[in-house]
Structure 1
Amino acid sequence: MSTHSGDGPHLNRLAQAKSPYLLQHAENPVDWYEWGADAFNKAKHENKPIFLSIGYSACHWCHVLAHESFEDPVTAKLMNEYYVNIKVDREERPDVDRLYMMFLQATSGGGGWPMSVWLTPDLHPFFAGTYFPPGQFRQILSKLADVWESSSDRCITSGKQIIEALRLASQMAPDTSALSIAPLATSVFDRLKQRFDMVHGGFGSAPKFPSPAQTMHFLARYAATHAGEPVGEVARDMAVRTMACIYNGGIRDVVGDGFARYSVDERWHVPHFEKMLYDQAQLLSSALELAQLVPPDAPERATLQRMAASIITYVARDLTSPAGGFFSAEDADSLPSHESTVKKEGAFYVWTADDIDRILGGDAPLFKFHFGVEDGGNCDPSHDAQGELKGQNVLYTAHTVEETAKQFASRAEDVERVLDTSLAMLKAHRDKERPRPHLDDKILACWNGLMISGLSRAADVLDKSFGLSTKALELAEGSAAFLRANLYDEQSGELRRSFREGPGPKGQADDYAFLIQGLLDLYEASGKEEYAVWALRLQEKQDELFFDTEGGGYFVSAPDEHILVRMKDAQDGAEPSAVAVTLANLQRLAHITEDRYTEYEEKVQSVLAVNAQLLREAPFALATMVSAALAAHDGYKQFIFVGSAEPSHVSPLLQAIRRPFISNRVLIHLDPANPPRELAKVNATLRTLVADIDKKGGQVSENVRVCQNFACGLPIEDVEKLKHVLA
């Protein structure tokens, strides 16, 4: 146990933490506490303000702040003397992060991590910022300590007023007047079209984030809704162009697969190098959805499928735990060599021209031309704030295979062979000579849910030529099994949020929403009833814990006396809004468990009513919700497939259903050899079909029924007829 000393590094309370981010600060001279009653009681007893620091383990600027300030004895002495210091992993406690991030954004107009917030002992915020240089940080610590000493009442009054304002802002009165969904979707599309970068892809200027929830996810659904129309082609092409630019840019780990979090420049070249599971998951889903929307012979389709294959390869190799769950992230910073003592951002990923010449020998000129390697490095100094990339090259596709072949008077297939061999040599060198970046090995229910969705879609649609569709399904089922065994209470139905050396905090709304979505996708991909039944039970528990029976809509944070405002924030961020994903889940479950349609539809309308004002004023901020509402507006289609669910069975009928991207699809499996009797209890149509199959002793021909608004057509046994219905 540490004392209020600033004399040097020592183990503080965080040495007992499970979070990798908190453990990174266990030897700081700062007297850190975890978020909890011990810290709050100390602040009240000693009448000290709280310094709250929020970040995550793969965050580059979090490391910079730690090295410059939290490891500095002088700064630590200030912190220990005048504050109770609390460290929070935003990935473990998104409820804490969300509340104070809203305060930061409201008071400064911006946000981000590391987040630094000063609180009263009653947890009311009165000042906040992000990264502060060391001198400025010490000045702020001293100034705010003086302010607290001389006029703490003013801080307390201000903090209470701010929290009350946030509380009022979060309590939007339901608006039950009819929402016109099509114009809202058009408004989102028009904004994206206006912000689209026709040269480099993406939306807006640097820095550029993939932001699939706000962009590709919506554009794929808008394109599907307007299939065959010029506006639908524009939506699809913007998304496809963006994904191709991301794939060909330096944001992709060309040597080892996977994608970095974002690019600091406008052309996707120089990334912040951390790799987050949620980015891999969302990019995987978007790549596959868009691949379904482009013509089969289009070169963009191959690029999108290669993108999907790269993500699956990376996640399977580097982010999958031996027990099946997916780890959270890999760090941006690492040691340049095994002899190095100082970590640098991107050290694991960048190359000098001399590195390439030495490792590749005679093939180096071709490789350097293709991947944009320059003798003095290819990173613009204006995109290298700390000068760590001087003389280094971030590999990206500077020239196509055809351009490279022409430059070197070679054949395209020979160029591809040289590039593949060269990349394998660089990877072998990197793996042997460079220490890997820090791995955040906690397993989050929410991000695993997103990854299960992406892998399930891969199992559905990825070309067999890539050889990864079976692997994708195995990975998805392995994650689901891990979560059920380690983060789910079979008796209570409750989820825990994270796992590392045991279960972590209680689940938040995104844990339930993203896992339910993942399980529904896994059910459609595998045909296994157990996943749909588990999703149904999780939705019941989410409704119990998070649905506001008085004001309507869903809270996004779990009940907690120390979270001063329970919000219903439905805006998308780096991840889709939990409320919007819940809306889509409710709509899908209403068509899988049709007996409960009215119950689920009432909750759907409640969500829309609570968010109606914001939907009308700023639909772009709620793009995922607009997508979900658009699918319902078009009317869900149920496809009841009667046939074997065995993985080895390849059904042309099932392939025909899966080939196109149908955003309002619900696929229900009925295996005559093992009928879905649990789902039949809550689905009148299934009950009838199962009873009929039982009468026939399970001897029925493979067929598909297409239903809309619970009115089903006759069974279709002919593939061409089914394709005609789907057209």
Structure 2
Amino acid sequence: MSSTTNATSHGGGGRLNRLAKAKSPYLLQHAENPVDWYEWTPEAFEKAKREDKPIFLSVGYSACHWCHVLAHESFEDEVTAKLMNERYVNIKVDREERPDVDRLYMTFLQATSGGGGWPMSVWLTPDLHPFFAGTYFPKGQFRQILEKLADFWDDDKERLIENGKDVIEQLRSNSELAPGDKQLDLPHLSGQVYKRLERLYDNEHGGFGGAPKFPSPAQTMHFLARLAALDMKNEKRRSEAERARDMAVQTMVKIYNGGIRDVVGGGFSRYSVDNHWHVPHFEKMLYDEAQLLSSALELAQLLPADSADRKTLEAMAIDIITYVARDLRSPEGGFYSAEDADSLPTKDSTVKKEGAFYVWTAAELGELLSEHAEMFGFHYGVEKDGNCDPKHDVQGELKGQNVLYVAHTVEETSSKFGVPPEQVQVTLDKCLALLKEHRDKNRPRPHLDDKIVTCWNGLMISGLAKASEVLDGQSTDALELAEASAVFIKKNLYDETTGELRRTYREGPGPTGQADDYAFLIQGLLDLYEASGKEEYVTWAIRLQDKQDELFYDTEGGGYFASAPDPHILVRMKDAQDGAEPSAASISLYNLHRLAHIAEDRHAQYHERAAGVLRTHGQLLEHAPFALATMLSAALLAQRGLRQFVVSGAAEDTATGALLRAVRAHFVPGRVLLHLDPRRPPRELAALNGTLRALVDDPSNARPNVRLCENFTCGLPVYDPGALTLA
């Protein structure tokens, strides 16, 4: 069957459109639509020009609940599809595969509507200039908009074409950032961000602002942890540092105890629709798990070892690792992208519901847990008629259901039922195991987006590398998991010959890598080097930074473009604002400062690139520092000064291990850890690092020791872990 014939067939008879040949799980979800979908390809653009039709661009991702709703209501509807096919060229894009497409048109959507989100619906001229955009539209409204815009195109296309051109020129003009021309007052800007977060902080429930509530580690926890660590021992700023730490810690504890955590199977949903972390939007994203893992570990290190909150944060980290290793890991070691919000309630069901895999009726729990149901229900907030407020359940899918959350502490449960706390915990654990077994056997799992995204694996490598340092035996496989992900990427998503990355893998490598793929993976490899001591990871990171500079650095204007060169991306943008993930520019700034202390012979080169990043985004950083909190914390760290900890000694030597534990005992955000095993000297790295070259044959290395180096000048070797000063 020809592709043209195949493209116009539809799901009514089980026939497929051209998306059946796609690799993206999101696109494959639309392979049976009666819509004549194209991928983002020249073939689609040429068709639009040839037939003089506008383009309807639909952008989403496979775990997106409202994307599914729009598809069921409109894209699976024969009448709507006929209208779309006759009057438009229709393009479907997975935002996770093509963030460059998403970024450009999301900027237009946000500029014209004041908001954004997915599904994103954009109407374009055949030259890819946008003239109208929105998100989810109900079925009737969506069809009306399609008809009106198509009529407008027929009646006054020249006006739409001119408007579209003007839009692109405006976006291009806005993307040409005016560099900052003065020295930034970083402590002042940091104080502004802190004051804003303190003003927004919810003292009762944690988090910043009202519903819906996102964990937003890149915008909040990452910044607050660094602010706290930098200023905790400064008499003038200690109270602010402690408040920064406590806001972040209490937010994380509330998240852990809320319904946003899958208490039965582990892992965290993307956000809660209420203000107290109870009713989640149920999809689970790898990038959220990774960032929450890193934040939990960093904040745990800011607390005393016997702190109850520290134990909760460590449990949170273990929960994430357990979930990701079990449910989001490919057999080859890479990590999958996401699990869907929607699923079938039972194996016999035909209609998916949001959260069906995760929620429970009181009657169901009573039947499964018998004599333990009352205790379990008290502890986890179970109510007879369900515990989900109807105002947070707009589609009525959670009526009568319970989203489990920690409603009472173990001690409170112990007091109510007259059972020792230890026995309460044993009973609760048994109940959770029973529920997991029942759920796994009787409920269809949500759809798994099994594409492997390079940048998100980079974030997870960072989290796992930190876990191997912080948890100290509580999660024995964290380092192994991180290394397996790195091996997978190098084998499947990296071209040794060209040094280039691909962005995604599913049945083979996908589109070309974007700036965040390089930046997040470089960060992950640097963290993995510090955790493992294996030189191969840091030398690969250095090569990737060279390639990122070649492909993405703007030698004329400074800073990094977010997207790879592509003639069909009309504006290459330099986006530095934090979102669900930190920006590539911000992580690159941190990477460059770290690399300047790792490959210190290239210090001037890395410093120049870093200065270019900060200069490029200086004006925005000065006027809206809260939007660039990750970049601000990276700049502040560099201003305070990064420090090298050179640990000399064989990795298997117990004395070396004791020194490493001392170095890793606290969160030191400006730490650069260098490993020097005299029996296996890091020759390739030493060729780029004068400090290591000088120390390779130093006779003082006959015993394991640590040297603390500042401004590339090292102090005397420290042999006693107790004498090591990290402040």
Q: TM-score under structure 2 normalisation?
A: 0.98
Of residues 164-173 and 107-116 in structure 1, the stretch that sits farther from structure 2 once superposed is 164-173
Of residues 260-269 and 170-179 in structure 1, the stretch that sits farther from structure 2 once superposed is 170-179
1:196-595 pair list within 5 angstroms: 196-228=201-233, 229-464=238-473, 466=474, 468=475, 470-595=476-601
Paired residue for 1:674, among 664, 668, 680? 680
CA–CA separation in structure 1 for the residues paired with 2:328 and 2:87: 41
What amino acid does structure 2 have at the position aligned with 1:701? R
Deviation at 1:692, TM superposition (A): 3.3
Q: Does 1:75 align with 2:80?
A: yes
CA–CA separation in structure 2 for the residues paired with 1:650 and 1:290: 25
Corresponding residue of 1:716: 718
Corresponding residue of 1:159: 164
CA–CA separation in structure 1 for the residues paired with 2:415 and 2:105: 56
Deviations 1:81-130 (A, max 9, x none): 00000000000000000000000000000000000000000000000000
DSSP-derived class of the 2:58 partner: strand
Corresponding residue of 2:101: 96
Contact 1:590 1:597 in 2 (8 A): yes
Corresponding residue of 1:123: 128
CA–CA separation in structure 1 for the residues paired with 2:323 and 2:627: 31
Contact 2:656 2:704 in 1 (8 A): no
Deviation at 1:176, TM superposition (A): 3.6
Deviations 1:401-436 (A, max 9, x none): 000011101110110011000000000000000000
Deviations 1:538-563 (A, max 9, x none): 00000000000011110000000000
Corresponding residue of 1:168: 173
Corresponding residue of 1:19: 24
CA–CA separation in structure 2 for the residues paired with 1:62 and 1:649: 55
Q: Does 1:662 align with 2:668?
A: yes
Deviations 1:180-230 (A, max 9, x none): 111111111110000000000000000000000000000000001111411
Deviation at 1:177, TM superposition (A): 1.7
Deviations 1:653-704 (A, max 9, x none): 11110011001110000011111100111111111112436xx9xx711011
What amino acid does structure 2 have at the position aligned with 1:353? A
CA–CA separation in structure 2 for the residues paired with 1:65 and 1:592: 49
CA–CA separation in structure 1 for the residues paired with 2:185 and 2:466: 30
Corresponding residue of 2:705: 703
CA–CA separation in structure 2 for the residues paired with 1:683 and 1:343: 57
Contact 1:533 1:679 in 2 (8 A): yes
Deviation at 1:175, TM superposition (A): 2.0
What amino acid does structure 2 have at the position aligned with 1:474? E
DSSP-derived class of the 1:726 partner: coil
Contact 1:6 1:80 in 2 (8 A): no
What amino acid does structure 2 have at the position aligned with 1:633? Q
Corresponding residue of 1:135: 140
What amino acid does structure 2 have at the position aligned with 1:13? R
Q: TM-score under structure 1 normalisation?
A: 0.98
Contact 1:6 1:77 in 2 (8 A): no
What amino acid does structure 2 have at the position aligned with 1:512? Y
CA–CA separation in structure 2 for the residues paired with 1:134 and 1:646: 64
Deviation at 1:645, TM superposition (A): 2.6
Corresponding residue of 2:631: 625
Deviations 1:30-71 (A, max 9, x none): 000000100000000001000000000000000000000000
Contact 1:208 1:268 in 2 (8 A): yes
CA–CA separation in structure 1 for the residues paired with 2:181 and 2:132: 37
CA–CA separation in structure 2 for the residues paired with 1:377 and 1:598: 62
CA–CA separation in structure 2 for the residues paired with 1:676 and 1:163: 50
Paired residue for 1:182, among 168, 182, 187? 187
Of residues 361-370 and 647-656 in structure 1, the stretch that sits farther from structure 2 once superposed is 647-656
Contact 1:335 1:342 in 2 (8 A): yes
DSSP-derived class of the 1:525 partner: helix
What amino acid does structure 1 have at the position aligned with 2:720? D
CA–CA separation in structure 2 for the residues paired with 1:491 and 1:649: 41
CA–CA separation in structure 2 for the residues paired with 1:483 and 1:476: 11
Contact 1:201 1:238 in 2 (8 A): yes
Deviation at 1:646, TM superposition (A): 4.1
CA–CA separation in structure 2 for the residues paired with 1:223 and 1:597: 28
DSSP-derived class of the 2:647 partner: strand
The 1:3–1:425 alpha-carbon spacing in structure 2 relative to 1, beyond 3 Å, is closer
Q: Does 1:652 align with 2:658?
A: yes
DSSP-derived class of the 2:145 partner: helix
DSSP-derived class of the 1:651 partner: helix
Deviation at 1:3, TM superposition (A): 5.3
The 1:122–1:296 alpha-carbon spacing in structure 2 relative to 1, beyond 3 Å, is same
Contact 1:519 1:531 in 2 (8 A): yes
Deviations 1:465-496 (A, max 9, x none): x2x1x300000000000000000000110000
CA–CA separation in structure 1 for the residues paired with 2:650 and 2:316: 31
Deviation at 1:295, TM superposition (A): 1.3
Q: Does 1:615 align with 2:624?
A: no
Q: Tell me how many residue pairs correspond in the alignment.
A: 718
Deviations 1:308-356 (A, max 9, x none): 0000000010011000000000000000011111100000000000110
Deviation at 1:644, TM superposition (A): 1.7
Contact 1:528 1:645 in 2 (8 A): no
DSSP-derived class of the 2:673 partner: strand
Deviations 1:573-596 (A, max 9, x none): 000111000000000000001110
The 1:7–1:238 alpha-carbon spacing in structure 2 relative to 1, beyond 3 Å, is closer
Deviations 1:613-654 (A, max 9, x none): 000100000000001011101100100000123498861111
* Runs of 5+ consecutive residues of structure 1 not aligned to the other structure: none
CA–CA separation in structure 1 for the residues paired with 2:626 and 2:41: 36
Corresponding residue of 2:726: 726
What amino acid does structure 2 have at the position aligned with 1:272? H
What amino acid does structure 1 have at the position aligned with 2:141? Q
